[in-house]
Amino acid sequence: RNACKEIYGYTFQFALDQGQRCLPVEMCLEFWKLLLRNHFALLDQWLAFVEQRCKNAISKDTWLMLYDLATQVKPDLSDYDLNGAWPVLIDEFVESVKTSAAGSAA
């Protein structure tokens, strides 16, 4: 799993154009499909969320923290810490998933 995290982190740096600090959303979406397909139970929801909410670019912090969300937090997000140091986009995603789950359970 550590090797997967290293490859995931390296991919962001490798894909950056010189002088850039963020990756285009479209590129990130394709990389996530390749790299996280078997590691992230909520991948399809994440991809749809990002396509709706994020128009420009993904920061390195969001990129790296998504791997932690995918591999360290339960698929039902029950152990997600809203007070943790998560990027805003990930916090908003978790809130969206939890709201959607609560709505469908009602």
The structure's pTM equals 0.91
Domain that holds residue 43: 2-105
| Total number of residues shown for the chain | 106
For position 46, which CATH number holds? 1.10.238.200
Long-range contacts of 80-84 (CB under 8 A, 24+ apart): none
Along the 106 residues of the chain, how does pLDDT read in single tens digits?
688 999 999 999 999 999 999 999 999 999 999 999 999 999 999 999 999 998 899 999 999 999 999 999 999 999 999 889 999 999 999 999 999 887 776 5
> What is the count of structural domains for the chain?
1
What confidence score (pLDDT) does residue 106 get? 53
* Alpha helix positions (H), 16-87: 25-35, 43-53, 60-72
CB contact burial 63-89 (16+ within 10 A = b; e otherwise)? bebbbebbeebeeebeebeeeeebbeb
99 phi, psi to nearest 5 deg: -65, -45
